[in-house]
Amino acid sequence: MNIKARRSAALVPATPAPATEALPAVDAAGLGQLAVFDEPTTDVPSGAARLRAENISAWFGDRKVLDRVSLTMEPGKVTALIGPSGCGKSTFLRILNRMHEMVPSASLAGQVRLDGTDIYDPSQRVTAARRQIGMVFQKANPFPAMSIYENTIAGLKLAGIKADRVEKDFLVEDSLRKASLWEEVKDRLHQPGGGLSGGQQQRLCIARSLAVSPRVLLMDEPCSALDPTSTRRVEETIHSLRGQITIVIVTHNMQQAARVSDECAFFLAAHNQPGGIVEHGDTEAMFGAPRDSRTSDYVNGRFG
Amino acid sequence: MSTITPETLIPERPEAEADLAKPRTLRNSYTGRDHAFRAITFTGGIIVLVVMLLVGAFLASNGVQAINEVGLWKFLTTANWAPESNDFGIAAVLLGTVQIAAVALLVAMPLALGTSLFITEVAGGWLKKVLTSMVDLLAAVPSVVFGLWGAYMLQPNIVDFSKWISVWFGWIPLFQVDGVDPASPLRDTVPFTASTFIAGLVVAMMIVPIQTSIMTESFRRAPVGEREGAFALGATRWGMIRTVVLPFGKGGIIGGTMLGLGRALGETIAIYLIISPVFEIKFHILEKGANSIAAMIALKYSESNEFAMSALMAAGFSLFLMTMVVNFTASAIIAKSRSGADSEG
């Protein structure tokens, strides 16, 4: 993870960053032993992946909301997307695992490369892309008809992966532990997931995403509706996943971005103009010595 | 942590002022217009209830004469319908009604489920709109038109299928047809016409629209958040439907199906046009000859004297009770099903 040359505070929209040479996937302890579950359906590689967005533009109907945005999200690192409301961060995030196209009027341009392979390539199955690039939403969305146990491994059933009781039990405990929810729910695994508190539901959703061993985890303002304790737990989870999985998080909370992320991308959109990345780089540099005055103003709370 | 401990101030609550803690009676002041609105809506609601009770009371009071004549038990267990010789009962027609409704439900339910899933989950844009209005249009087609279509269009074409079922599955008593030689080279389809099966198919076509529109409505309300949650896990469309839409729409599926059943039980003219009425307890659904309570009333109505009329009223009352139970159960299930309100975090 430290081989990479730091492109700190590069002004991204000017030119697409040169393609960095592919790193070997970070082999994370704990994820390797789950690889067996992946075999029956696809032979997707496990471990953190590099996600690279190239010249992403997006439209809702005729309204262009993103204009040629490029960003590399390094394997095993936490990248925070920050910026004021309506600058296209969430749209950008949803493009990274093909959720954008679910909106009927939405369209997009550009490529999203998962370890070099464009997930929008016609040869790629959308379900495979989404299984490798998981997503946690702003509003916790557990399946209310299912128990906590079933919720956690819902992804297995959805992917048609067969697992026996022992494997399932292991996966449930492992995923819930990673989402730091295990201790709170281990005695009531078979109660409905909808009965948990908001913060617990969100961590259940994180566990659910982790159970299918994604290589990238996207988080769309995961803590914006959570109490401080749950927010801290989610941040701890992000810290513990560092190195094992590539994380991209959209947040409106500057302190959170500073606490959890290795790298930061600052999105901005002028009035009625499509959004783009103003500045991108190492989080410390972005908060300590931003190059662009708008970044400086935003991270110091002078607007947004 | 500092050494300052926060103080919790508990105000004194003197006994003398204990009255202050008693619940208040809340009253609103109504104007004349409030009263007018209340009166109009109340009247509207009450009229519906009164009309329904009057219909039930009318049927019961007119039918009681006939039931008293033969006794309730005999009325329920006699298959024949000959009021002139005091030998009548609803056993055969009730069974026929249930059989026709069962065939209709068995055919209509999967059809409606598939249609509504297609409308809500698969079709997009103009196709969705066209299909939705087509389903509504289908619901507006008069039942006599369905009856004519069933008798002159569906029946001549479906009898070969009936025959095929009876040839291959005739060993199951339900599909057995007497008086037909499967080895005969002649295309003898008459024994397969005017059957419970064909009447059931026509009724199925008539109840598909109502079932579809109720199921569509309940599927449409499945929360977007849960749908996206399933897709984000790599679900296929069917996986998402199985995990989110079907559990959410369970109440709509059951309720819609039962409302369709309510319609199927009461359907009259379409069945009347297709069946050749028989008054016997029979389970051969592919065989010529069927009956239902509603069709029997339509059939016997013109040739009935006062007493026979009373017997028909009694039969009508039993149908009234049955459909009421089915419909009440259906609306209770629909009302109880999850509205999506408890999915918010």
Domains of chain A, CATH where assigned = 25-143+213-299 (3.40.50.300)
What CATH number is given to the structural domain containing B99? 1.10.3720.10
The answer to ipTM > 0.90 is no
Q: Is B268 domain-assigned?
A: yes
**Minimal CA separation from B248 to chain A, in Å:** 8
Q: How far apart are CA B254 and CA B246, in angstroms?
A: 11
Beta-carbon contacts of residue A187 (< 8 Å; ≥ 6 apart): none
Q: Is B147 domain-assigned?
A: yes
Write the pLDDT tens digit of every residue in A85-138: 889 999 999 999 999 998 889 999 999 999 999 999 999 999 999 999 999 999
The answer, for B228 touching chain A at a CB cutoff of 8 Å, is: yes
- Specify whether the CB–CB gap between A156 and A37 falls below 8 A: yes
Partner residue opposite A158 with nearest CB, options B233, B248, B338: B233
Partner residue opposite B232 with nearest CB, options A135, A144, A201: A135
Write the pLDDT tens digit of every residue in B171-200: 898 888 887 776 777 778 888 889 999 999
Q: Is B262 exposed, middle or buried (0-12, 13-18, 19+ CB in 10 A)?
A: buried
Interface test with A, best of B233, B250, B339 (most A CBs within 10 A): B233
Dihedral-angle region of residue B210 (phi above 0 means left; psi in -120 to 50 means alpha; beta otherwise): alpha
Would you state the structure tokens that stand for residue A232, as one six-digit string? Answer: 């801290």
Decide if A137 and B231 are in contact by the 8 Å CB cutoff: no
Q: How far apart are CA A226 and CA A15, in angstroms?
A: 38
Percent of chain B with pLDDT over 90: 68
Q: Is B290 domain-assigned?
A: yes
Decide if B232 and A201 are in contact by the 8 Å CB cutoff: no
Rounded to an integer, the average pLDDT of A16-39 is 40
Among chain B residues, the shortest Cα distance to A213 is held by B233
Q: Is B50 domain-assigned?
A: no
Q: Is B53 domain-assigned?
A: no
Partner residue opposite B230 with nearest CB, options A128, A158, A160: A158
Contacts of B126 in chain A (CB under 8 A): none
Q: Is B99 domain-assigned?
A: yes
Write the pLDDT tens digit of every residue in A242-296: 999 999 999 998 999 999 999 999 999 988 889 999 999 999 999 988 888 899 8
Quick count: other Cβ atoms within 10 Å of Cβ B220? 14
Task: Supply the DSSP symbol for A54.
Answer: E
Q: Is B189 domain-assigned?
A: yes
Query: What phi and psi, each to the nearest 5 degrees, are found at residue B285?
Result: -75, -15
Would you state the structure tokens that stand for residue B67, as one six-digit string? Answer: 């039931």
What is the predicted pLDDT for the residue at B338? 59
Number of folded domains that form chain B: 1
Q: Is B75 domain-assigned?
A: no
Quick count: other Cβ atoms within 10 Å of Cβ B239? 20
Q: In terms of residue numbers, what domain contains B139? A: 93-339
Write the pLDDT tens digit of every residue in B2-34: 456 667 777 777 777 777 778 888 888 888 899
* pLDDT top residue among A113 and A163: A113
The answer, for A61 touching chain B at a CB cutoff of 8 Å, is: no
Among chain B residues, the shortest Cα distance to A193 is held by B343
Contacts of B226 in chain A (CB under 8 A): 141, 143-144
What is the predicted pLDDT for the residue at B4? 63
